[in-house]
Amino acid sequence: MAPGVEADVEAEVLESSVVDEALLLRLLRRAGRTVALPALECLEILLDSDTPYPAKLTVLAALTYLLVPLDLIPDFLPVAGFSDDLVAITALLGICGRHRSEAVRQRARRRLDAWLPLTR
């Protein structure tokens, strides 16, 4: 197919007998849990009274920068567009790595289990 030429794609709805819906739901929950756990750990770091104020401020700033659609360097610029996001992610990972205590991990895991329970 030539570049820039779109192909017609026909979607087919699969019957429940073809898709194991329980397995699919478990996979989706696990994927959600994989993404949610670090986010909940960041939340617990923010809520933790032992986390120093400058660390909380850095986590809030990094999360805000990543979630707000405005960027210092627009993302559509090749390579450079994601460099500012990389700085925010690096700061977030560094702070969370230093301040993620066992108590923070346990609270995040309990919250995760309450919000996205794994059922067999």
What H or E segment, with its residue span, contains residue 37?
helix 21-47
82 contacts 75 by C-beta, under 8 angstroms: yes
pTM metric for this prediction: 0.67
Condensed to tens digits (0 to 9), the pLDDT of residues 59-86 reads 999 888 888 877 777 777 777 777 888 8
pLDDT band per the 50, 70, 90 thresholds, residue 2: low
What is the C-alpha separation between 18 and 23, in angstroms, rounded? Answer: 12
Domain ranges of the chain: 21-115
